[in-house]
Chain A
Amino acid sequence: MSSPRDVVITGIGLVSSLGEGPDAHWQKLAQPGLQPVLEAARFAPYTVHPLPEIDWNLQIAKRGDQRQMETWQRLGTYAAGLALDDAGIKGNDELCTTMDMVVAAGGGERDEAVDAAILAASESRNDRDVLLNEKLTTELRPTLFLAQLSNLLAGNISIVHKVTGSSRTFMGEEGAGVSAVETAAARIRSGQSTHVLVGGAFQTEHSDMLLGYELAGYLHRGPWKPVWQRQGAEGGGVVSGSGGAFLVLEQREHAMSRGRKIYAELGPVVSGRARRTRGELDAEIATLLSQAALPNGKLLAMSGASGAHAATSVEKTALDANPAISARGFSTLTGHMKEAQFPFAVALAALAVDRKAAYPVFDTAAEKPFEGIPASVLATAIGYHQFEGMALVKSA
C-alpha cells in the first residue's frame, strides 16, 4: 500500500570508474562479463579503480569554485549536481532553497608534496615540532584547509547548486553513508522534509586515502581478484575505487505533485553496530536482514562488501545462508568507495527496480543468476572495519 509520505527516489547521480550517470552505469553493469577499469601501476602494490575523465565544467560552472576544491569535493559536488539534474531540481530556486541535505564525508586531500618534504626533513632534524611550524606556516596554501574540511563538501554543494534548506555532514566511513540515508528517509517519513539530497564521494587516488585503510593492513595486494575471491590472497582484501553517489529522496506526494519520474520507493533503512571483537557481526547481519522486511520469494541484493577478509566472509556466509538471495558484489566493478558505498548500493538497487531487470553476475564463480523482474532489491553496506546497514528498495 503506498502512502503519501513514502520515501521515493527521484534523482540519481553516480560517478565511478565505469562512467557517470545512471544510464551509463546501467548500460555497463547490464553487460555480462564486464571487465573492471583498473589502475595497477600508480599506487603499486595496490590496485585502484580510477576516476573516469570528467569535464567538471558541466556541473561546476565557475572556475573559481573549482579552484577552491580538490578532487574529492569536486567529485561530490559533481555527483550531487547530476542527481539534482536528474530529479529536475537543479536551477529551481524554490526547490533548492527548501531542500535538506545530508552528506556522508571523510576528509579532503592533504598536500602530498608539503607532507613529503616535511617527512624528508624530519630524518635529519630532532626539533620536529619546530620543523613542522616552519614548513606549514610557509608552504601550506591557505585555502587548502577548506578543501580538506569534511563539511565543506556540503558547503560547496550549497554554493554551487544553491541547496540551502539545511546542511548536515555525517562522518564515519560506510556507517556515515548508512546514517545519512536513514536520517534523510526518517525526516521525509515524519514530514520534516519533503525532499532531501543525500550521498557522498570518495577519491581514493591519494596516498592518505590508501593509508586510511592500510594502517590496519586492509588493502588487497598482488593481482586483482573479484571482491568475493580475495580471502587468503596477499593483503587485507579491499580494492578501493574513486566515485560518488547522490540520491534525491522525496516524499511520494511531493514527487507526484510535480510530476516527476520515480525510480523506486525506499523501504526500510536499518543500521547497526556489531561489537565485532566479540564476534557479534553474524548475529547483527541476521538482525538487520530480519528488520529489512524482506519480501517472500527470490531477492536480488546489491552488496557493498568491501573485500575486507573478516567482514566480507561473514556477509557472504549470511547472504548464502538464504537461498532466495542472489547477491551482486558491486565492488568487483567499482572498487570500495567508503562513505559513498551505501548510497551507491541504494542507487544500483533503484536502477534495477526501475529497469525491471536484474544485473548479470559480476563474478561467475561466486554469484548466481537472477531470472525475472526484481520488484524489491536489497542494498547492503557491511563496513570493512565497523558499522553496518541495509535498505530495501521497492518498485514505486
Chain B
Amino acid sequence: MTNFRDHMGRPIVAVTGIGVVTSLGVGKADNWAALTSGKSGIHPITRFPVDHLNTRISGMVDFLDSSSKGASPLTYELAETAAHEAVAESSLDSGDFGGPLFLASPPVELDWHERFSLYNSDKQDAGAERLLRVARGLKELDIFETTQFGSIADRLADRFGTRGLPITLSTACASGATAIQLGVEAIRRGECDRALSIGADGSATAEALIRFSLLSALSTHNDIPEKASKPFSKDRDGFVLAEGSGALVLESLEAALARGATVLGILRGCGEKADDFHRTRSKPDGSPAIAAVRAALADAGLSKDEIDYVNAHGTSTPENDKMEHLSLSTVFGERIGSMPVSSNKSMIGHTLSAAGAVEAAFSLMTMRESVIPPTINYDNPDPAIVLDVVPNKKRNAEVRSVLSNSFGFGGQNTCLVMAREPV
C-alpha cells in the first residue's frame, strides 16, 4: 500500500503536469533538447532600440504573439502557454481545473507606449494632469487592466477554471518558488487536492533593463551574447535579463493516484528565511540563505547527504554566486566539491519572477531524464568557488532528489526540495 503522508503526517504533494517557456522555445521538448545540448537563448535585443544602453543583450521571449505588446499581455501569454502545457499533461480539465491558482508575476505599471499614446492624444495641460483627464475619457478597459496587479491572474482563472480568489505574488527573484510553495502548503493544509502554480515574467522592457543596469546588476558582455551569462566563472559580471514561464500542476499523491495520473515527481519540501541585512545584498555570513536551505531539507525530511543535485540560483552576478557557494558549502560541507551544482541561467538568463518555477520544471525533468543540464560558459573558473558545476556539457546521472535555490532582492530566500519517488 502506498503511503500518502509525509514524515510530518501531511499529504505528500505530487507533480502531475509541467509546462515551460523560455527564450529557448515553447514547451518541455524544445527546452530540454536545447538545455541538454548546452544551447544559449541569449541574443541581441531587437524589441526596442538599444541607443544609450550599456546592456544590449537579453533572453527575451521574442516569438510569441504578445512579445511586442507590452509586459502585461506578454506575461499573460507566457503564463497561459506554460499552464496549458502543464494542465494538458496532467489530463485534468483545461477549462475546469477545480483548484486554486498561485501566480508569480512581475509588478505591473502603465506601459510607456500607452503613456505616450494617451499623453499625445490631447494638447491641453501637461504632465499627470493631462494623463488623468485623458484616462477618464477612455471607453475601453484594456489599458486599465494592464495596471491592475490582479488582472493577469483573474484572466487565467477564467481561462482554466481555477477555484476561488487567485493569489498573485511577488518575492522578487524567488517568486516562482514561492508560487509553488503556496500550492504545496494549500494541499498540505487540506484546503484542496490540487493547485496550479505558475511563474511568468514578460517584463523585460527598456525601463526594467535600465533600472537593473543602474544597480550594476546586468552583464555588459554584449559582443558574444551567448557567452554573457557565466555563473561561477571568474569573469562573471552580472546577470542577463530574461523572460519565461514555468507551470506545475500540484496534486496530493493520493488524489493523483486515485485518478490514475502519471506522477512526474514529488514536491517534497520548501524552506524560506528572510534577510534583514540590506535591500540588495545578503548578510555577509550567508546565514539567511543557509537557514533557507536547511529549512527546506528539514521540511522534506531529508538529510544533506540525501540531496543528489543542486539546481543553483546561479545568476552570474559576482555577489550571488559567491554567497550561494558560501551557503552551499556551509550546509553540505566537504561534499559540495563533488556534488553536481549547475545553473540553468547560463543558458536562459535570469527569468526573474518566473525563475523559481522554470527551474523547478527543469529540476523535475533532470530527475526524470537522468540527465543534468550543464553550466555553460564555464571557461574561466572562479578559484574561490570550488564546485562541480557540470561544466559545459550535460551529464548522465541518476538523480533522486534536487535542491533548487531562489534568492531575491528584499532579502527573499526560498528553497525547494524535489524528489523523483514518493518515499
B132 at the interface (CB under 8 A from A): yes
B153 and A172 within 8 A (CB): yes
A273 and B165 contact, CB distance less than 8 A: yes
Counted as pairs of residues, one from A and one from B, with CB atoms less than 8 Å apart, the total is: 236
For the complex, give the distance between the alpha carbons of A46 and B128 in Å.
Answer: 13
Interface residues on B, range: 35 or more
- List B contacts of A134 (CB < 8 A): 51-52
29 residue pairs of the A-B complex, CB under 8 angstroms, read A107-B108, A110-B109, A116-B126, A116-B127, A116-B128, A123-B120, A128-B112, A137-B52, A137-B53, A137-B213, A140-B210, A140-B214, A142-B214, A146-B280, A150-B149, A151-B409, A156-B279, A158-B274, A163-B274, A166-B272, A171-B169, A190-B188, A208-B110, A211-B147, A212-B148, A216-B141, A216-B144, A386-B154, A387-B150
A-side contacts of B273, CB under 8 Å: 164-166
Contact between B157 and A128 (Cβ–Cβ < 8 Å)? no
Residues of A within 8 A of B261 (CB): none
- Given the interface pairs A122-B119, A179-B165, A207-B131, the reply to whether A159 lies near B278 with Cβ below 8 Å is yes
B276–A120 contact, CB under 8 A? no
Report yes or no: B136 in contact with A214, Cβ–Cβ below 8 A: yes
| B258 contacts A by Cβ under 8 Å | no
A158 to B272 alpha-carbon distance, docked (Å): 13
Residues of A within 8 A of B238 (CB): none
- State whether A119 and B412 are in contact (beta carbons under 8 Å apart), knowing that A208-B110, A212-B147 are contacts in the complex: no
Q: A211-B147, A212-B148, A271-B164 are in contact. Are A136 and B412 (CB under 8 A)?
A: no
Q: Mark B119-143, 1 if CB is under 8 A from A, else 0.
A: 1100000111111100110100101
List the B side residues contacting A386 at CB < 8 Å.
Answer: 148, 150-151, 154
Question: By the criterion CB–CB under 8 Å, are B149 and A176 in contact?
Answer: yes
Across-interface contacts of A187 in B (CB, < 8 A): 185
A173 on the interface (CB 8 Å rule)? yes
* A contact residues around B188 at 8 Å (CB): 190
Chain A residues with CB under 8 A of B108: 107
Q: Which residue of the partner chain B has the closest CB to A275?
A: B158
- Which A residues lie within 8 Å of B64 (CB)? none
Contacts of B150 in A (CB 8 A): 171-173, 175-176, 386-387
Give the docked Cα–Cα distance between A105 and B108 (Å).
12
A132 CB contact (under 8 Å) in B112, B166, B274: B112
A31 at the interface (CB under 8 A from B): no
| Interface-side segment among B170-178, B335-343, B359-367 | B170-178
B206 touching A119, Cβ below 8 Å: no
The contact string, 1 if C-beta is below 8 Å from chain B, for chain A 79-116, is 00000000000000000000001000111001010011
From B51, B141, B411, A133 is in contact (CB under 8 Å) with B51
**Cα(A175)–Cα(B168), bound, Å:** 9
List A377-396 residues whose CB lies under 8 Å from chain B.
385-389
A38 at the B interface (CB under 8 A): no
Cβ-defined contact, B165 with A388, below 8 A: yes
Give the contacts of B58-114 with A (CB-CB under 8 A): 105, 107-110, 112
Contacts of B110 in A (CB 8 A): 208, 211, 215
Q: How far is the CA of A150 from the CA of B105 in the complex (A)?
A: 11
Q: Check B395 for interface membership: any CB of A closer than 8 A.
A: no
Residue from the list B49, B168, B210 in contact with A137, Cβ < 8 A: B210
Q: Check: A129 CB closer than 8 A to any chain B CB.
A: yes
Judge if A186 is at the interface, Cβ distance under 8 Å: yes
Contacts of A272 in B (CB 8 A): 164-165
- The answer to whether A170 and B157 have CB atoms under 8 Å apart is no
Let me know if A130 and B49 touch, CB within 8 A: yes
Closest to A173 in B: B150
Chain B residues in the interface with A (C-beta under 8 A): 48-54, 105, 107-110, 112, 115-116, 119-120, 126-132, 135-136, 138, 141, 143-144, 147-151, 153-154, 157-158, 164-172, 178, 182, 185, 188-189, 191, 206-207, 210-215, 272-280, 288, 408-412
Which of A105, A129, A146 gathers the greatest number of chain B CB atoms within 10 Å?
A: A129
**How far, in angstroms, from A183 to B179 measured CA to CA in the complex?**
13
Chain B residues near A192: list those with CB within 8 A: 185, 189
Residues of A contacting B50 in the complex (Cβ-Cβ under 8 angstroms): 133
Q: Roughly how many angstroms separate A271 CA and B169 CA in the complex, as a whole number?
A: 16
Known: A119-B115, A136-B206, A151-B409. A162 touches B276 (CB 8 A): yes
CB of A357 within 8 Å of the partner chain: no
Indicate if A229 sits at the interface (CB-CB under 8 A).
Answer: no
A35 interface residue per 8 A CB criterion: no
A178 at the interface (CB under 8 A from B): yes
A289 to B285, CA, bound (A): 50
Q: A-side interface residues toward B, CB under 8 Å?
A: 46, 68, 101, 105-107, 110, 112, 115-116, 119-120, 122-123, 127-130, 132-134, 136-138, 140, 142, 145-146, 148-152, 154-156, 158-159, 162-173, 175-176, 178-179, 183, 186-187, 190, 192, 207-208, 210-212, 214-217, 219, 235, 271-273, 275, 385-389
Within the complex, which residue of A101, A156, A164, A172 is in contact with B149, where a contact is CB–CB below 8 Å?
A172
Q: Are B172 and A151 in contact (CB under 8 A)?
A: yes
Considering the complex, give the chain B residue whose CB is closest to the CB of A165: B274
Could you list 12 further interchain pairs (A-B, Cβ under 8 angstroms) beyond the known A145-B214, A215-B147? A107-B108, A120-B127, A149-B170, A152-B172, A159-B276, A159-B278, A168-B182, A172-B149, A207-B127, A207-B131, A211-B131, A271-B164
Q: Once the chains bind, are A207 and B128 in contact (CB under 8 Å)?
A: yes
What residues on A are CB-neighbors of B51 within 8 Å? Answer: 130, 133-134
Q: Given A178-B165, A271-B165: A149 and B409 within 8 A (CB)?
A: yes
Q: Which chain A residues lie closer than 8 Å to B172 at the CB level?
A: 149, 151-152
Q: Which residue in A105, A165, A167, A214 is a CB contact (below 8 Å) of B132?
A: A214
In the assembled complex, the CB of B380 is this many whole angstroms from the nearest CB of chain A, namely 29
Name the contact of B211 in the complex, choosing from A120, A140, A150, A216 (C-beta under 8 A): A140
Q: With the chains together, A142 CA to B54 CA distance in Å?
A: 14
CB-CB < 8 A to B49: which residues of A? 127, 129-130, 133
What residue in chain B is nearest A276 (Cβ atoms)? Answer: B154
Q: How far is the CA of A133 from the CA of B45 in the complex (A)?
A: 13
Decide: B166 and A171 in contact? CB cutoff 8 A.
Answer: no
Write out the residue numbers on chain B whose beta carbons fall within 8 Å of the beta carbon of A162.
276
Chain B residues positioned under 8 Å from A219 (CB to CB): 136
CB of A184, distance to nearest CB on chain B (Å): 12
A163 proximity list for chain B (CB < 8 A): 274, 276
Residues of chain A within 8 A of B168, CB atoms compared: 170-172, 176
CB distance from A18 to the nearest CB of B (A): 26
- Minimum CB–CB distance for A372 against chain B, Å: 33
Residues of chain B within 8 A of A172, CB atoms compared = 148-150, 153, 166-168
Smallest Cβ-Cβ distance to A206: which chain B residue: B128
CA distance A243 to B171 in the complex (A): 23
Cβ-defined partner of B276 (8 Å) among A140, A158, A183: A158
Partner of B279, one of A101, A133, A146: A146
A216 to B143 CA separation, bound complex (whole angstroms): 8
Of the candidates B126, B149, B189, B411, which one forms a contact with A171 in the assembled complex, judged by CB atoms under 8 Å apart? B149
Contact A214 B206 (CB under 8 A): no
**With a CB–CB cut-off of 8 A, which chain A residues contact B409?**
146, 149, 151-152, 155
Determine if A132 and B272 form an interchain contact, defined as CB atoms under 8 angstroms apart.
no
Report Cα–Cα, A123/B411, bound state, in Å. 41
CB pair A119–B276 under 8 Å, yes or no, is no
Contact B138 A216 (CB under 8 A): yes
Contacts of B128 in A (CB 8 A): 112, 115-116, 207-208, 211
Residues in B with CB closer than 8 Å to A116 are 126-128
